[in-house]
Amino acid sequence: MMKRGPVLTRRQAVALGAASAATGFSGLSFAEEAAIRLQVTFPPGGSTDIASRIIQPRLSELAGRPVIVENRPGAASQIATQYVAKSAPDGNTLLVSFDTHAINPIAKSRLPYDTFKDFVGVTLAVRFPLVIGANAQAVQGKDLRDFLKEANANPGKFSYASTGVGSMNHLVMEDIKRRSGTFVLHVPFGGGGPAVQAVLGNVTTLTLLSYAALRGQISAGKIKPLAVTGAKRLPELPDVPTVAECGFPGFEAYSWIGIFAPAATPGATVQRLTKEFQGALQTPDVHGKLTAAGFEVIGSDGPGLDRHTHQEYERWRKFVQETKLKLEE
């Protein structure tokens, strides 16, 4: 389990930023004084974008310089990821990566970068279970167990939206289909925002996204939560069962968001960035907003993120090999 640091008060966070500035950053070059640009791999409205914008103000405060969130969606995260891989290793351009960072080497026969050689971890920021949410008018049952019964009785009627071929929500739903023997058509989209719109428009029946991405539509009664993929129920959705409770004992899966820098970034720079992100994540306002949005704050060190990436790669590589799931579009 990842070791989590104590939550800082705002006064402590500000003091940390001031101390950092006073003890070694006054002599930084212009490049190092430049804004931190967070390259988000999906469009606005998705989990990576939501988390980035929650973290952004406090990170800027601690780093003592502007923090800019830039969305570079497309090609299952490859556009933003390649951009960062080719960026100067000065700590100014960072990748805010989804779980696709570990899955793309499995899903894609060729990538324009090397996942494990071209990047160095800064922090595993958060993880979160997926909420399986359906168009409230399109399904009759109250939970995943009921939906699967309905899907089995109506082959070909239902579909689900993912954030792309080989995404975590794609793999998780395919695992549920395999375990249940149920067919639900997969329809890939370019991010969480488009997936939500597909469900609202009844283009697809359901999707699997973070609570943060679905809570507005759940509150409005337009999307019905059927299950969550974590080991425990979400405090925000106490009446919604886990997948395990719906007939799949031991089932557990999480999406996650990690911050990466180009591999050649100096170790001291990476460590400074890690401390700044950890400080931002541990302040009460950021921690509280992330938790309320269904995120579990982790705030690991860089090596912890690198280990996690390898572990996720191995888990899903084995799943794809065993199931012979086709991931190339």
Rg (CA), the chain: 20
**Which residues neighbour 64 within 8 Å (Cβ) at sequence distance 6 or greater?**
17, 20, 21, 25
Quickly tell me which residue has 């800027």 as its tokens: 60
Please, what is the angle between helix 100-107 and helix 78-85, to 10°? 100
**Which residues neighbour 180 within 8 Å (Cβ) at sequence distance 6 or greater?**
148, 152, 247, 248
CATH code of the domain occupying 131-246: 3.40.190.10
C-beta separation of 225 from 214 below 8 A? yes
Given a cut of 70, the residues of the chain with pLDDT beneath it are 1-33, 328-329
Q: Encoding tokens for residue 323?
A: 């199931």
Cα–Cα dist 151/137, whole Å: 15
C-beta separation of 159 from 186 below 8 A? yes
pLDDT at residue number 74: 87
For the chain, the structural domain boundaries read 10-128+255-323, 131-246
Tell me the residue length of the chain: 329
pLDDT at residue number 75: 86
pLDDT at residue number 279: 98
- CATH number for 10-128+255-323: choose from 3.30.70.260, 3.40.190.150, 3.90.226.10, 3.50.50.60: 3.40.190.150
The per-residue DSSP string of 157-179 comes to S-EEEESSTT-HHHHHHHHHHHH
C-beta separation of 279 from 13 below 8 A? yes
C-beta separation of 138 from 318 below 8 A? no
Amino acid type, 301: D
pLDDT at residue number 166: 86
Q: What is the DSSP letter of 297?
A: E
C-beta separation of 59 from 67 below 8 A? yes
The per-residue DSSP string of 65-118 comes to S-EEEEE---GGGHHHHHHHHTS-SSSSEEEEE-THHHHHHHH-S--SS-TTTS
Q: What is the DSSP letter of 210?
A: -
Does the predicted model carry a pTM greater than 0.85?
A: no
Quickly tell me which residue has 């302040």 as its tokens: 283
The pLDDT tens digits of the residues spanning 35-79 come to 999 999 988 988 899 999 999 999 999 999 999 999 999 888 999
pLDDT at residue number 163: 87
Among 103, 168, 181, which Cα is nearest to 132's?
Answer: 168
10-128+255-323 against 131-246: fold identical: yes
Amino acid type, 59: L
What are residue 39's DSSP bridge partners? 70, 95
Among 258, 261, 302, 267, which Cα is nearest to 118's?
Answer: 261
